[in-house]
């Protein structure tokens, strides 16, 4: 990658080669504490702008210190006055009278309606204390790595030294030891170093689940190359976008995905190098434009590469794609410190042990499987069992076969597992805990009882965000909690928003917090130089800015806004309610309506299309529905449309329902209305429009009242 990159670190600015942007934009973000990158100009230009910002930051810090000193002085004065009054009462009326007066004051306070807080505090104190101890242990480890400025290479080599012959990854009967992972990753590093790749370059990894996936990005990180982890479901436009947004200079891809790569060759730069990996040194490549990486690795050195550039905590490690509220996939920046925090947080808060054996059928290009679970292997030396793809019927059987103690899930996985026919040995296994996100409260109890699961560690967090929480006390349906006693310890909040998802502000222009049982948007306060509170954002700086709100609870502060609607009960337990904006969640994946609309519109000759998510009774998330303006019904649903959707969209993004609109409803500004359509859902009794659903054989068929009832009852699966 070329250009300049500026990263704010401990109040200073580091300049390194990376994407090009404007100095002014970079300087603005130094003040806010958000990742500052992609500036164009010389170091002198940057310092000329950043220096005044630093002075302004120091002035604000001094002002904050002065405010707190004044508050402490006032509190000390009040304490002195109270002590003086108590002493006077004791002196003139005696000690017993003082005790009686205190008891009367307490009773009056409780009678005024404040007793409930004390009750809630007493009930939740054990939970908060346990979580606080875990959080402190987490911060100690993270701070130690931060202080040492340890690179990911150093951390993993330390793990290998402790466990050279221990199985690191188990896959389809293969066992890769830690020493083998180290050697293979060193081969990757040496091959790409010999091909001229260096610190700051980007290589895309387009590969199905297998041990080589982890070894590839781990090896590239040893020479400072950032790996973009590409979703293997992406095709055509989405794939091209994902490759170009990070300015990938090469692609490592599996032979099983060579057709997908071939489809986009004419749409990506010709200088992008193509490395095909077959996981078989004797296999040849199908296309002369592809280099056979297996052959290159065969004679590569297994010793760690020597590099001139020093690597540390702030290096970009991988890019993980997330589909937010603004269209095509966005590349979230995962630095070394961020990766460590993600893995360490789940490790400490869920009470993982290094002796645990993890089972994860999740894709390794996602944070959950690729960072959380693989982080337990890379950092803590645990063994991880992976699968190419999730199988509901094999989930418990695999855990039993490989003697796994912790199993991971996401989204609808638990529902699919529960839907499988019961077996006599469903509860016969060594699983002590399952962890993940998306286990619906409606099936939580039934799932843990049938499969004899002792503990569920449900977590919540966005790949790019800093608002991450964990259910530490097995509360059914909860995704985490906010302390009711000292909420300031972990600065996350739920704020009021309007129907568009924008914060509702008070007379001072600040956000307002929701009360218990009031839904609102979840946010996490941004604190620079704190790995647990930093927000690195996306490669796309403009997209990053949209995820940050300022002047939250005080003038000048900032927070990451998740876009998710959460609700907190009286005890501080948090529950997921919905997503704001145009993005909905289906099958454990985020679906961007604007992207799906664009694809369908192109297929049907640019007709008006509205895409939204609709609820199906008993199912988590929302199923995709496309309302297509086609009064003459000329579109062939089971011809061009179905074929085009299969080619252009991953399965989870393809609309489950199609509604043929006879008329188009526009706003005063000529925008398509979707709220009324979304409320009507796929119920044929609420409209005269024809509605179709995607059957299990991949064809669209008419939704009748009988079909509608069967879908809602689960008799027809979608």
Q: What is the pLDDT of residue 386?
A: 98
Highest mean pLDDT among 241-255, 322-336, 480-494, 531-545: 241-255
* pLDDT over threshold 80, residue 31: no
pLDDT digits (tens, 9 = 90+) for 242-257: 999 999 999 999 999 9
And the tokens for 459?
């977590």
15-21 average pLDDT score: 38
If one compares 532 and 127, the residue with the highest pLDDT of the two is 127
Highest mean pLDDT among 239-243, 488-492, 531-535: 239-243
pLDDT digits (tens, 9 = 90+) for 106-164: 777 666 666 787 888 889 999 999 999 999 999 999 999 999 999 999 999 999 999 99
pLDDT digits (tens, 9 = 90+) for 383-440: 999 999 999 999 999 999 999 999 999 977 887 898 888 999 999 999 999 999 988 8
**CA torsion, ordered 551, 557, 562, 567, to nearest 10 deg:** -80
pLDDT digits (tens, 9 = 90+) for 592-610: 777 788 789 878 876 788 9
Q: pTM here?
A: 0.73
540-556 average pLDDT score: 89
Question: Cα(563)–Cα(571) distance, rounded to whole angstroms?
Answer: 23
* pLDDT over threshold 70, residue 363: yes
* pLDDT over threshold 70, residue 471: yes
pLDDT confidence bin for 19, thresholds 50/70/90: very low
Question: Cα(141)–Cα(344) distance, rounded to whole angstroms?
Answer: 8
Q: Write the CB contacts of 109 (distance below 8 Å, at least 6 apart in sequence).
A: none
Percent of the chain with pLDDT over 70: 85
Question: Cα(410)–Cα(560) distance, rounded to whole angstroms?
Answer: 23
181-193 average pLDDT score: 98
pLDDT digits (tens, 9 = 90+) for 263-281: 999 999 888 999 999 866 4
**Which of 193-197, 281-285, 306-310, 499-503 comes out lowest in average pLDDT?**
281-285
542-547 average pLDDT score: 86
Q: What is the pLDDT of residue 467?
A: 83
568-585 average pLDDT score: 84
Residue 700: other Cβ atoms inside 10 A:
18
If one compares 117 and 629, the residue with the highest pLDDT of the two is 629
Q: Which domains does the chain have, with CATH numbers?
A: 5-93 (no CATH), 583-713 (3.30.300.30)
And the tokens for 257?
């995905």
Percent of the chain with pLDDT over 90: 60
70-75 average pLDDT score: 76
* pLDDT over threshold 60, residue 505: yes
Residue 392: other Cβ atoms inside 10 A:
16
* pLDDT over threshold 50, residue 38: no
Residue 95 backbone class (left: φ over 0; alpha: ψ -120 to 50; beta: rest): alpha
191-211 average pLDDT score: 97
Mean pLDDT, the chain, rounded, equals 85
Q: Is 329 exposed, middle or buried (0-12, 13-18, 19+ CB in 10 A)?
A: buried
pLDDT confidence bin for 581, thresholds 50/70/90: low
Question: Cα(246)–Cα(320) distance, rounded to whole angstroms?
Answer: 11
If one compares 309 and 202, the residue with the highest pLDDT of the two is 202
pLDDT digits (tens, 9 = 90+) for 678-689: 889 999 999 999
Tell me the three-class secondary structure of 54-98, residue by residue.
HHHHHHHHHHHHHHHHHHHHHHHHHHHHHHHHHHHHHHHHCHHHH
Q: What is the pLDDT of residue 288?
A: 82
DSSP β-bridge partners for residue 549 = 559
296-320 average pLDDT score: 94
Q: What is the pLDDT of residue 654?
A: 95
Task: Report DSSP state, residue 503.
Answer: B
Asked whether the CA dihedral 225, 229, 234, 238 is positive or negative, the reply is negative
Chain centroid, CA 676 distance in Å: 31
């Amino acid at each position: 990658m070329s250009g300049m990159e500026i990263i704010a670190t401990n109040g200073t600015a580091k300049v390194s080669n990376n994407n090009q942007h404007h100095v002014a934009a970079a300087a603005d973000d130094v003040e806010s504490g958000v990742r500052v990158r992609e500036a164009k100009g010389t170091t002198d230009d940057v310092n000329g702008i950043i220096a005044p910002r630093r002075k302004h930051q120091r002035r604000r810090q001094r002002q904050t210190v002065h405010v707190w000193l004044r508050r402490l002085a006032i509190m000390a004065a009040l304490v002195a006055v109270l002590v003086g009054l108590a002493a006077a009462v004791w002196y003139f009326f005696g000690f017993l009278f003082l005790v009686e007066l205190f008891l009367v004051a307490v009773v009056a306070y409780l009678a005024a309606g404040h007793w409930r807080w004390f009750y809630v505090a007493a009930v939740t104190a054990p939970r908060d204390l346990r979580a606080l101890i875990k959080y402190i242990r987490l911060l100690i480890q993270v701070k130690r790595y931060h202080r040492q400025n340890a690179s990911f290479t150093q951390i993993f080599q330390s793990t290998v030294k402790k466990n050279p012959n221990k199985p690191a990854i188990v896959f389809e009967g293969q066992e890769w030891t830690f020493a083998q992972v180290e050697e293979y990753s060193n081969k990757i590093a040496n091959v790409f170093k010999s091909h001229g790749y260096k610190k700051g370059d980007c290589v895309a990894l387009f590969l199905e689940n297998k041990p080589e996936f982890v070894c590839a990005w781990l090896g590239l990180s040893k020479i400072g190359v950032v790996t973009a982890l590409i979703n293997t479901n992406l095709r055509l436009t989405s794939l091209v976008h994902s490759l170009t947004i990070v300015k990938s200079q090469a692609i490592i891809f599996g032979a099983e995905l060579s057709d997908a790569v071939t489809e986009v060759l004419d749409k990506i730069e010709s200088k992008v190098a193509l490395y095909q990996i077959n996981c078989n040194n004797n296999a040849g490549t199908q296309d002369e434009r592809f280099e056979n990486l297996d052959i290159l690795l065969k004679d590569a050195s297994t010793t760690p590469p020597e590099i001139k550039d020093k690597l540390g905590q702030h290096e970009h490690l991988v890019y993980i794609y997330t589909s937010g509220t603004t269209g095509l996939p966005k590349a979230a920046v995962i630095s070394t410190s961020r990766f460590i925090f993600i893995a360490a947080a789940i490790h400490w808060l869920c009470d993982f042990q290094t002796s645990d054996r993890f089972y994860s059928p999740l894709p390794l290009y996602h944070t959950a499987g690729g960072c959380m679970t693989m982080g337990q292997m890379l950092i803590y030396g645990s063994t991880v069992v992976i699968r190419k793809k999730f199988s509901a019927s094999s989930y418990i059987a695999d855990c039993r076969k490989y003697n796994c103690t912790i199993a991971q899930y996401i989204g609808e996985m638990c529902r699919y597992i529960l839907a499988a026919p019961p077996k006599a040995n469903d509860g016969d296994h060594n699983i002590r805990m399952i962890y993940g996100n998306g286990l619906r409260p409606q099936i939580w109890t039934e799932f843990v009882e049938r499969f004899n699961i002792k503990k569920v560690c449900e977590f919540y967090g966005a790949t790019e965000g800093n608002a991450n929480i964990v259910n530490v006390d097995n509360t059914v349906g909860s995704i985490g909690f906010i302390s009711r006693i000292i909420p300031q310890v972990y600065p996350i909040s739920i704020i009021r928003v309007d129907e568009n998802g924008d914060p509702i502000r008070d007379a001072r222009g600040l956000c307002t917090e929701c009360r218990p049982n009031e839904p609102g948007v979840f946010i996490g306060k941004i604190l620079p130089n704190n790995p647990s509170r930093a927000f690195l954002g996306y490669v796309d700086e403009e997209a990053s800015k949209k995820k940050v709100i300022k002047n939250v609870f005080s003038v000048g502060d900032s927070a990451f806004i998740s876009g998710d609607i959460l609700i907190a009960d009286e005890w501080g337990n948090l529950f997921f309610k919905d997503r704001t904006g145009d993005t909905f969640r289906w099958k454990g994946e985020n679906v961007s309506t604007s992207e799906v609309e664009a694809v369908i519109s192109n297929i049907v000759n640019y007709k008006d299309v509205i895409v939204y998510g609709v609820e199906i009774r008993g199912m988590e998330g929302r199923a995709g529905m496309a309302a297509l303006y086609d009064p003459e019904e000329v579109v062939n649903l089971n011809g061009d449309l179905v074929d085009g959707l299969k080619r252009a969209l991953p399965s989870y993004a393809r609309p489950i329902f199609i509604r043929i609109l006879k008329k188009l409803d526009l706003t005063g500004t000529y925008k398509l209305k979707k709220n009324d359509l979304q409320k009507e859902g796929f119920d044929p009794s609420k409209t005269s429009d024809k509605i179709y659903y995607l059957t299990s054989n991949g064809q669209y068929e008419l939704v009748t009242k009988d079909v509608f009832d069967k879908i809602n009852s689960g008799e027809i699966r979608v």
